[in-house]
Amino acid sequence: MLTDLCAWTEEFLRRLLDAFPQRLIFAGLQGSYGRGEATPESDIDLVVILDHVGLPELETYRGLVRGMDQGALACGFLCGRVELDRWPRYDLMQLVWDTRPLYGTLEGLHEFTPDDVDMAIQIGASALYHSAVHCFLYDNDPSTALPALEKSAFFLARLELFRRTGAYPSTRRETALSYGPWSGGTEKKYERLIRWSSSLL
């Protein structure tokens, strides 16, 4: 786990601007570090938008991240502006809403409609339902898949809460206030995941 997130992101941004002078459109932090909920196992989820991304840019960015102290923790989303403009709107919502800016802004790039929210929920719910059923049926130990399934459920719950309330919850705690903990044994958790995702379809 990073001991000083502010220093790390400042160094990352300095290197990024040096590597891509006048080409950086946006850089941000998302995931547990962006929400202030990082644990010792957390990755550093970065979002970077350049004017253009090809293999040379990917190679430069890979070297930049690998050269950072604790760069092995880095992961995230990198694309060019054209790709961002063409990205499916339902998939952009959480990227925009869940990213804390370090440089530039995503505000105003996209306006999302209720239909975009509905589509994101439908796609997320169907994916969660399928994954939960598949893992329960075919995994030798279904409990090992639960952390990933519960992470997907958290992101889906944020969208569903936004649809109901108009407010996008920024933390797991806010989501848990409405949905409660995913408690109980393995079978109970699977039952709840499957029933809840089915109800959203």
Domains of the chain: 5-103 (3.30.460.10), 114-200 (no CATH)
CA atoms within 13 Å, Cβ hemisphere of 13? 16
How far apart CA 1 and CA 37 sit, in angstroms, is 12
- Which uninterrupted H or E stretch holds 138? helix 114-138
- Which uninterrupted H or E stretch holds 77? strand 74-80
Q: What is the DSSP letter of 194?
A: H
The whole-number mean pLDDT for each consecutive block of 10 residues of the chain, a chain of 201 residues, reads 83 97 95 82 92 97 95 94 91 88 85 92 96 97 94 91 89 68 82 92 92
In this prediction, residue 74 carries a pLDDT of: 93
- Please give the sequence-ordered ranges of beta strands (E in DSSP) within 9-60, or none if there are none: 24-30, 44-50
pTM, two decimal places? 0.84
Q: Answer for the pair 28, 100: CB distance below 8 angstroms, yes or no.
A: yes
- For residue 140 the two structure tokens come to 């030798």
